[in-house]
Structure 1
Amino acid sequence: MTKLKQWTSLGGIGVFAVLLLAVAPLVLTDHWLNNLGKYCCWAIAAVGIGLAWGRGGMLVMGQGVFFALGAYSMAMHLTLESAGDRIPGFMVLYDPLAPLPMFWEPFRSAGFTLLAIVLLPVVVAGILGYALFKRRVKGAYFAILTQALAVALATLISSTIRETGGDTGLSDFKYFFGYVLNDPANKLMVYLIAAALLIVCLLAVRQLYRSRFGELLVATRDAEERVRFLGYDPANVKLVAFVISALMASIGGAMFVPIVGIITPAEIGAAASILMIAGVAFGGRASLFGPALGAMAVGWGQSSLGSTWPEGWTYILGLLFIVVILFLPNGLSSLPARFAARARRSPDQQQPAAVLPAPELEEVKS
């Protein structure tokens, strides 16, 4: 990355931070600011996908698993915080005399909850990635396996109604680490936390792209065997990127819960994971800002068009995905470079060379 690109990317993050943290709260209504916070949560997960897929070549189609780990960890803590010393209401409906499940008890602690949001995805992604990458599982097989895990987890949560709320999910959160969620000032605080976390993730990924690890990751994507011959283990390089991607998905899921106010299996299954992938592909998976902006654009489309025209929105998303793959394989983020390259061409380069007739050609040769 050249010096100009380094400063351009850093300046872009600065402008993005000003827009999210300063301008948006001043010009947007509470409804749209809350929606923007939701888009930021998806963007956090998308930045991680951009690292793993765009730079590492790993099509992670099961990020809903790690999104769920963060989301349900946060939801369980907020549910217990709202219930106080009582058993959560949805559990009482199914079995009034049953005690609180043992795995819920630690989530009464705010510190344990924050630790779980960070460590659970790291441990799960570490074990899963080590098992897959050491066996050199990649390509379509890797994508199918990760997506199958997302489907399996969503099905498991749907079937454990008393422990997780099933298809209804967890909702009706009143407090966020002691702050009343219905207070507009606290809602703004939660939005600012989500937006700030998105900026931090962008800065972290930018630093990774500039580092030696970033170069190794691209080399592993393009020439894995050469990296192995140079003495590096491609499995370890992929594993680090996969774990970081999982951590960002978990953070996005954790902030999604207090902003939206509900988490259900529909938000973590195969469809949700594909929606994240679609946003990354739309924005440009190999760029720094492309995944985040693409995820926010797709989120806006889902909120705006999906609510007014739910059946049509599915077709629009599918058509958009096909068009991007066929005509813009590098996403919308590649458009400025294309326009700049076209502008740099001289008029002589843009016009095809004239074809000389045979007699004139002979004369030129002589």
Structure 2
Amino acid sequence: MSPAAHWITTPLTDSLVRGAIELERTAQGLLPHRLPARARAQCADGQLAMAEAQPSGVRVAFHTRATAVELETVPTKRVYVGAPPRPDGVYDLLVDGRLTAQGSADGGNTLVIDMTDWSTEYRPGPPATVRFTGLPTGAKDVEIWLPHDETTELVALRTDAPVEPPPHRGRPVWLHHGSSISHGSNAASPSTTWPALAASLGGVELLNLGLGGSALLDPFTARTIRDTPADLISLKLGINVVNLDLMRLRAFGPAVHGFLDTIREGHPTAPLLVVSPILCPVHEDTPGPGAVDPDSLATGQLKFRATGDPSEVAGGKLTLTVIRDELARIVRERRADDPHLYHLDGRELYGPSDAAAMPLPDNLHPDAATHRLMGERFARHAFTTGAPLGRPADPHLHSPAAQ
């Protein structure tokens, strides 16, 4: 701890942690999860376990007059054998909704991943502290957004003035589910992933269930969404089903219907926006599975490629083009009985002209500037008055603006 006088340690509880589905008590503190234990118990996949424990959208939030804050954590940092070193995760500190400071935490655990066979080695490490000083004086709302791509156990919160839970501002809760792009891959920081930016612009409270590599129409994810309080829901579906070569067209349609049916059991009339994949040239007309391009490792620039055969699309293999058509059809047909269901073509967020000007650096994930572009566009398409997740133009109706 720093030598600053009169540090106050406040217990970390669910009243101060937002954006998590569940908080697990560990030997050192609290581990935020974005899937509940009952869901985690139904799948032993290591990628899912890593993704749901990375706290994208999770933040420590409080009201205080403090001008100095310390957050002690145990981060878990990833090292990929043969790939360039990853930067430390970023902590964003927001004061009254504005990004005011950033920091990183040294130390913590290390997870070494060999992409040739996806074996892992876990190396435990000590806690780390990220410190923010010089905050504005006076009463304020403070949020510390945890690194979106770095598993983070919360150990202690220390401040130089008392803290209390932040007041409820009456903002609607937006629950979003998607792939690694929604999780925040290649975003600059946790409050600048495209969902975080869209939530800020839309004036909503984000609950981000973007799960890297794991937006796979799993029934336990649908049940999690069903059972989680939310005012607005969006689902960005498709890319992981293709790049894992998980299913064929015959299974995909019924799986989407089942996913939506389950969500509607808990949220029968909530505005629900289905978003198809953004443009991804390697998978537009070429099926999965996707794979790391081995030639890219030698250059220090990780890239992905599609390994499927386009001729197999006729037999039911999935591409992004096929999936976009299928999602549009499903939403169009279901809307006859579900007027609160909407569709958005993902290419409205990132399309052909964007790919020419801002190509995906690794052929799969957008860069930081593209996250900002997507956040701004999603806010405009989804949260403006009359849009699917926005205030209705007619207070008695919810306008199907995205159709």
TM-score scaled to structure 1, two decimals?
0.27
More strand by share: 2
Greater RCO structure (CA 8 Å; 6+ sep): 1
Rg comparison, structure with higher value: 1
The structure with the greater share of residues assigned to helix is: 1
Structure 2 length normalisation: TM-score?
A: 0.25
